[in-house]
Amino acid sequence: MADRSGNKEERKEEKKYEEKRYTTGLYLKAFAISVAIFSCGLLIGIYIENFFTSDLSARTAVIENSVREIELEMLYFQDLSDTYSCDFLSAVIVKTNSNLDTLAQELQYSEKNILFTKETIRNIKMTYTSLLIKDWLLQEKVKKSCGADAVTVLYFYTTESCDDCVTQGDVLTLLKDTFKEKLMVFPIDTQIDISMTKILMDRFNVTAMPSIVINGETYTGVIGKDELTGTICEQLPGIDECK
């Protein structure tokens, strides 16, 4: 009696675990669900990307305004005022330069990571480059009238297949951290199609990437940290960082 009921239970158990056949349906179902999850993720990504890009445009506009303001102030000082306010002007230029720096870093990230708003980013980069050159010009002008308390570096580079540019970029970032506002770097992406870039390249005899122009002199190829520090310190003797 007990045996028979045991057998029954056993049979029941075996029935419960009857073999289920798995066919392509399983894989198609998984595919459909994955596509759904994936597209949700992609949509959120696109939303964030748009948000990010419009934020960048807004900030570029702010910098554009401040550059225009500097131009205006220079006009005023040159034409109407007898005293040329050097401290005031260089402070504004330094601030603009550091704003441009932050923008440059974010542009660099977005160039790599943005998928759909490439065109907008390109436009921002063009505006950025012309602002950068303008800022450099203003700085040179101020330098002429007031003398220099900062070293300006023009850095020509390209983002396409240039290992050395990556290295040189790292070196400059590092030096920027040491010298802070005493060093003003103007990185110019030569792939951005602006005629002013070509004019500058001609003027300073820049033929290969990366190239650095310090104090009118052009250096091509990677320049190490120590050599660059030496060149900068030649022009800024007596500051703490050079001792």
Partner 1 sequence: MFNILFLLFVSFMAIYINVWFLLMSPDVKARMGEKRKAKRTPAISILIPAHNEATTVAKTLKSLLGLDYPKDKLEVIVIENGSTDNTLNVVRRFVKSVSGLKIRVLSMPESGKAKALNLGLKHAKGELIGVLDADTFVTRTCLKRMVGYFDDSCVGAVTNHVKIVKPHRLIPSLQDIEYIFSAFSKKLISLLDALYVVPGTLSLMRRDLVNKVGFSQDTLTEDMDVAICILKKNYKIVNALDAVSYTDVPKSLKGLLKQRIRWYRGFMQNFRKHSDVIFNRKFPHLGYFVLPFASLLAIFIGSFLTLVLIFDIIRSVTLFVKGVAYIPLLEKLSLDLGALSITNFIISPYSTISYAIILIETFIILVISFRALKVESKKKFIFLPIYFFMYYCLIMVFWIISAFMELLGRRKRW
Please report, as ranges, the residues that interact with partner 1 according to CB under 8 A.
10, 13-14, 17, 20, 22, 26-27, 29-31, 33-34, 37-38, 41-42, 44-45, 48-49, 52, 106, 109-110, 112-113, 115, 161, 163, 166-167, 170-171, 174, 224-225
Q: Which is nearer to partner 1, 87 or 160 (CB)?
A: 160
Amino acid symbol at 170: D
Q: Which is nearer to partner 1, 99 or 168 (CB)?
A: 168
- Exposure string over 32-69, b if 16+ CB within 10 A, otherwise e: eeeeeeeeeeeeeeeeebeebbeebeeebeebeebbee
The sign one gets for the Cα dihedral 58, 153, 216, 142 is positive
Helix (H) / strand (E) containing 88: helix 86-113
Q: Which is nearer to partner 1, 161 or 195 (CB)?
A: 161
User: Closest separation between CB of residue 116 and partner 1, Å?
Assistant: 10
Query: How many helices and strands, by DSSP H and E, does the chain display?
Result: 7, 4
Q: Which is nearer to partner 1, 112 or 243 (CB)?
A: 112
Amino acid symbol at 116: F
Report the distance separating Cα 97 and Cα 150, nearest Å. 12
In sequence order, what are the residues at sequence separation of 6 or more whose Cβ sits closer than 8 angstroms to the Cβ of residue 82? Answer: none
User: Closest separation between CB of residue 236 and partner 1, Å?
Assistant: 19
Q: Which is nearer to partner 1, 145 or 178 (CB)?
A: 178
User: Closest separation between CB of residue 115 and partner 1, Å?
Assistant: 5
User: Closest separation between CB of residue 234 and partner 1, Å?
Assistant: 19
User: Closest separation between CB of residue 214 and partner 1, Å?
Assistant: 18
